[in-house]
Structure 1
Amino acid sequence: MGIIKDTLYRISNKQFLKNFKNQSIFPYYHIVRDNQVAHIENLYQFKNCKQFLNDINILTTNYKPINPQDLLNNKNLKNNFLLSFDDGLEEVYTIIYPILKKNNLKAIFFINPNFVDNNEGLYKHYISIIVTHLKKNNFEKSTLDKISQKLSFTYNTIEEFKQKFINIKFSEREKIKDILVVLNIDIKTYLKEQHPYITKKQIQEMINDGFYFGGHTMTHPPLNQLTHEEQKKEIINSINWLKENFNINYSLFAFPFSDKSISKKLLNELFEYDSNIKLFGNSGLKKDIDKRIIQRFSLENPKKQTEKQIVTENLYKYFNKLIGKYNIKRK
């Protein structure tokens, strides 16, 4: 969270939540499940079904749910909430979708088309699979040395190795595939048996049931590691893929990793592509340069109390107003 947010979280009280209902909120998640899975467990923590149901209870008690169509119709929303889910993981269909249906809630699911149907996977997920494999072999030093040499980094401890390995650049992703081969990890079999991602058939079923889908780039790169034209292509191609495959007439997109480096030029080009596009960031309760850019915050951390997290986001909003950082600036 950062020092300021951690401090605000410690001093916050869930009883304060009733005082923070004048602004709509847009919480997001990636996955909900009751046990660990190799392609996620080394990347981030997530909530189980019981915790997610508790979140839904808190949100529906304190806020009114948004139908994404109201957002697309530019309705004035106040004291509302809208859930969204990034990366198109299989659990959005097998776990999250049934829970939302039962609670009469709609949501937006942001997907990477290259991974739909499980023929290919996200490089970060491959890294997590490799770390799980290394863990099972007690992080054998000779293997760690081979990997670090291939990726041109040095390390002194296992923790330092993991940190550097998990944070390698997008441009190194092809080397990750080579490491899978060296370690005898059959990634095609993993994708076939574990099916980490949603399928076209599942997406169609959810769309037919009134749920919404948006692009999340084709391959989930950190956009700040791409050229301007590469960024634009990744974004627009992911939206167009949904339109072409599912006959939808709207444009929704969520920036992967972070939206902080996104330029004003790129945003204007996306607005030219579709003047009614809705873009989703993850900068919390902040005001962006255009109302079509919606800022979200994560409720995924299972160690944080949901009411206190929402209170913290609101307190952080007022802190940012005091120091002049509430309004996002784009270059």
Structure 2
Amino acid sequence: MPFKDTIINLVSKFSGGMSTQNYPLDYCIPLYHTVSDETLPHLKHLYPYKSEKEFEKDLDYLLKYFNFVDWDGFRRFQESGNRGGKKVALLTFDDGFSEFLHVVAPILERRGIYAVNFINPAFVDQQDMLFRCKASLLIEKIKSEKVDISLLQNISGLRYGATDEICSHILKTGYKKRVLLDLYAEAIDLDFKDYLRKNKPYLDLAQLQELKTRGFGIGAHSWNHPYYSELTLDEQLETTFSSLDFVKTHAFLADAFAFPFTDFGVSKSFFEQLYRRCPDLYSFGTAGIKTDAFAHNLQRIPMEHDSAANILPKETAYFLLKKPFKKNLIIRK
């Protein structure tokens, strides 16, 4: 076990574990992408996701410590200054995957829990696919079928690369070089559009509108899910505002935006321009239990790498460990 994890576990143990009293913030914002009992090839090689049983177990745990609220309730809680009573949780999902309608929504409706799904307009109606999902599909085909690896070696420049090296290279392909993924797919006869047509991994516009009528929130998540660290400031603002314009046009949540991947390194200038145009907006990162110099930029807790019962105590312990060093506030430059 890494030394950092050992220290976090010790702090968690001696601080008494998770409780309403020692959880350091008044709110908790869990982050998921999807929930499924099925193998999803477009996600299989990217990150783990919860089964239905695991997700329900997470909800049981979270309900011990938090009141789940809807978007309006969360805004009121943030703006009222009234922090008495049980702490609140806002459940969030990213990327607009179709399981949210078919799997997640029925579970949440049965339990009376609200969630916001942050979507990328470029993928609505199966128009395109997140470049990372394309990478996962490529790796799945390479590992499960007989593929002429020499074609990929030539395109990648790894002339003597073994299969695992090629797959690692594909998985590391960045947003700015995403066209390479289409070249790899053409070389091994993988049709992304055919996969979209047959599997429909994303929610379409009619389904998003249905979810809205059923009481769920739909927020913005950039136009096509880039790494903000790879973009210029103008490009960051463009993809942000275009996604916000989309959700506003369709009467979804025009005051909710979640950064794709992370907001790590996003500049002070970006936030100043963002909130100048959208003063009522709340934005969301993925840095766990932290606060931000910009009060309307809130951090979420990724929940898919372990159970909620393990993640929350460790996040709390990590916050307490950093507190004496004043490392829990994100300062923008």
Give the TM-score of the pair, scaled to structure 1.
0.91
For the 8 Å contact 2:30–2:302, the answer to whether it is kept is yes
| Number of the residue aligned with 2:180 | 175
Map Cα deviations across residues 214-245 of structure 1 (whole Å, 9 max, x no partner). Answer: 11111100011011111001011101101102
SS at match of 2:37: coil
For 1:291, the equivalent position in structure 2 comes to 295
Q: Distance in 1 between matches of 2:261 and 2:226?
A: 8
RMSD between aligned alpha carbons?
A: 2.2
User: CA shift at 1:27, angstroms?
Assistant: 0.9
Pairing of 1:241-280 with structure 2 (within 5 A): 241-245=246-250, 247-248=251-252, 250-280=254-284
Residues 1:8 and 2:8 aligned together: yes
User: Whole-Å Cα distance in 2 between the matches of residues 10 and 140 of structure 1?
Assistant: 50
Distance 1:254 1:154, change over 3 A: farther
Contact kept, 8 Å, 2:247 with 2:254, in 1: the verdict is no
Aligned partner letter, 1:66: V
Long gaps (5+) in structure 2: none
Give the corresponding residue for 1:26.
29
Assess if the C-alpha contact under 8 Å between 1:12 and 1:308 holds in 2. no
Q: Which residue number in structure 2 is paired with residue 62 of structure 1?
A: 65
Q: What is the deviation of 1:157?
A: 4.9
Structure 2 counterpart of 1:165, from 163, 167, 170: 170
- Offset at residue 274 of structure 1 (A): 1.4
Cα deviation, 1:189-217, whole Å, max 9, x if unaligned, reads 11011001011111111111221111111
- Residue-by-residue CA offset, 1:37-94 (whole Å, 9 max, x unaligned): 1110011111100000001111112211122112233244561111100111111111
Of 64-73 and 154-163, more deviation after overlay is shown by 154-163
Aligned equivalents of 2:17 and 2:253: distance in 1? 40
- 2:189 is matched with 184
Secondary structure of 2:101's match? helix
Point out where structure 1 has 5 or more consecutive residues left out of the alignment. none
Provide closer, same or farther for how the CA distance between residues 249 and 192 of structure 1 changes in structure 2, counting only shifts above 3 A. closer
| Distance verdict in 2 for CA 1:248–1:148, change over 3 Å | closer
Shift of 1:169: 1.8
Q: Cα offset for 1:6?
A: 6.0
The aligned amino acid for 1:312 is K
Percent identity among equivalent residues? 27
Contact 1:285 1:317 in 2 (8 A): yes
Letter in structure 1 aligned against 2:104: I
Relative to structure 2, which stretch is displaced further, 155-164 or 192-201? 155-164
State yes or no: 1:211 paired with 2:216: yes
- Residues 10, 101 of structure 1: alpha-carbon distance in 2 compared, 3 angstrom cutoff: farther
Contact 1:9 1:308 in 2 (8 A): no
Letter of the 1:91 partner, please give it: E
| Aligned equivalent of 2:89 | 81
1:101 correspondence with 2:102: no
**CA 1:158–1:184: 2 relative to 1, 3 Å:** closer
Q: Name the TM-score, length of structure 2 as normaliser.
A: 0.91
Distance 2:6 2:161 in 1: 29
Matched-pair contact (CA < 8 Å) for 2:135–2:181: yes
For 2:285, which of 281, 290, 299 is the aligned residue? 281
Instruction: Kindly tell me the number of residue pairs found equivalent between the two proteins.
Output: 325
How far apart in 1 are the matches of 2:128 and 2:253?
27
Q: Is contact 2:69–2:88 with CA below 8 Å preserved after alignment?
A: yes
Is contact 1:170–1:225 with CA below 8 Å preserved after alignment? yes
